[in-house]
Amino acid sequence: MIFKQIFDKNSCTYTYLIADPVSKEAVFIDPVDTYVEDYLALLKTLDLKLVYSFETHVHADHISGSGLLRQATGAQTCIGLHCGAEIADNRLVGGEAFTLGADVIINAIATPGHTPGSMSYLWADKVFTGDALFIGGCGRTDFQNGDPGDLYDAVTQKIFTLPGETLVYPGHDYKGDFVSCVYQESSKNPRLAGKTRDEFIEIMNNLNLPVPTLIDKAVPANLYCGIEEEVALQWANERELSNPDKEHRGGQGKINYAKQQVNVIDVKTAQSLIADGDPVILDVREKNEFNLGHIEHAINLPRGEIRSDIESILATRHKDAPILIYCASGHRSVLAALVMAEIGYTNVISLTGGYVKWKREIS
């Protein structure tokens, strides 16, 4: 096996290299943009081919190197679906398995709480927990739509249930520690060991930490894997052209079908509709994406909540009234429009290219 832990002293971030010595295929977990040249040199020295960059979440304290690595090597970017990074190659919900050569298997585990899209990755006897679990601590839950109850459930049910000897490699360490194990964290972690869910929530809600200095720059950049929005959109377009069916793993076929069934509209026509037609404007992205910017007067209801909540939210509107629906790039919105059609809404129109295109054409 080839395994290396790399430390960024500016943000106290750990990046990990995992590679299969036979096939020479490699991955990075949580690469940092300022180290990309070093990573590339390391890959060259070890004669490795980078195939994936995994993110544990959209980071607030440093800019990801996964986009730059994709440009340099073609390695696919992988991140939790609920992180809102629309342009990533693989958007994960947990349960996915990635293989390097014949022997290395890396499993994605959804561990929400620090952020809704946070993922951990399990490789053999090692689990890479990102900011879900630190050595003697855990990631904060007071921004990026964090939720301490979700974090408690994820860590206690998905990490602490792994064999006790499983090695825990965190996303950060601020005290000089490198590695822990599940037994150590489940029995000694001061925030979690022996704590009830309510006690943990009480602790997390009273940390009173300062906001990370880089958050306003890092979060928007990391929604595009740390690279320029224009370049990221170009990838997305190229990928769409070469594989129009793919939204994320497991979603094949759905998007194409939906696009044939749903009325779509470009940005210019959408503007006229807003000016003349008084449509409901419905943003079906996640709350954290909506909070970073949205079309004026839009109502936010994430796609996963359409079926349960749309009728109460639009209770005063007739089901034949026009609804302009959008997401980041126009994928989720067509799927959401299909659900709305099933519920009885007859005039749902999806914005092609989504908010990304809206922003480009309006500004």
The residue ranges that bind Fe ion (CB under 5 A) are 131
- When the beta carbons of 135 and 338 are compared against Fe ion, the nearer one is 135
CB of residue 115 to Fe ion, shortest distance in Å: 7
CB of residue 61 to Fe ion, shortest distance in Å: 6
CB of residue 80 to Fe ion, shortest distance in Å: 12
- When the beta carbons of 25 and 131 are compared against Fe ion, the nearer one is 131
- When the beta carbons of 55 and 131 are compared against Fe ion, the nearer one is 131
CB of residue 171 to Fe ion, shortest distance in Å: 7
Among 219, 59, 168, CA closest to 31:
59
SS (H, E, C) the chain: CEEEEEEECCCCEEEEEEECCCCCEEEEECCEHHHHHHHHHHHHHCCCEEEEEECCCCCCCCCECHHHHHHHHCCEEEEEHHHCCCCCCEEECCCCEEEECCCEEEEEEECCCCCCCCEEEEECCEEEEECCCECCECCCCCCCCCCHHHHHHHHHHHHCCCCCCCEEEECECCCCCCCEEHHHHHHHCCCCCCCCHHHHHHHHCCCCCCCCCCHHHHHHHHCCCCCCHHHHHHHHHHHHHHCCCCCCCCCCCHHHHHHHHCEEECHHHHHHHHHHHCCEEEECCCHHHHHCCCCCCCEECCHHHHHHHHHHHCCCCCCCCCEEEECCCCCHHHHHHHHHHHHCCCCEEEECCHHHHHHHHHC
Q: Is residue 286 within 8 Å of 316, Cβ to Cβ?
A: no
Q: Is residue 98 within 8 Å of 79, Cβ to Cβ?
A: no
- When the beta carbons of 116 and 354 are compared against Fe ion, the nearer one is 116
Q: Is residue 198 within 8 Å of 186, Cβ to Cβ?
A: no
- When the beta carbons of 11 and 166 are compared against Fe ion, the nearer one is 11
CB of residue 120 to Fe ion, shortest distance in Å: 13
CB of residue 300 to Fe ion, shortest distance in Å: 23
CB of residue 53 to Fe ion, shortest distance in Å: 16
- When the beta carbons of 131 and 150 are compared against Fe ion, the nearer one is 131
CB of residue 166 to Fe ion, shortest distance in Å: 22
- When the beta carbons of 159 and 338 are compared against Fe ion, the nearer one is 159
Following CA atoms 215, 220, 222, 227 in sequence, which dihedral angle do they give, to the nearest 10 degrees?
Answer: -120
Q: Distance between CA atoms of 97 and 103, rounded to whole angstroms?
A: 12
- When the beta carbons of 8 and 131 are compared against Fe ion, the nearer one is 131
CB of residue 5 to Fe ion, shortest distance in Å: 18
**Residue with the closest Cβ to Fe ion?**
131
- When the beta carbons of 13 and 352 are compared against Fe ion, the nearer one is 13
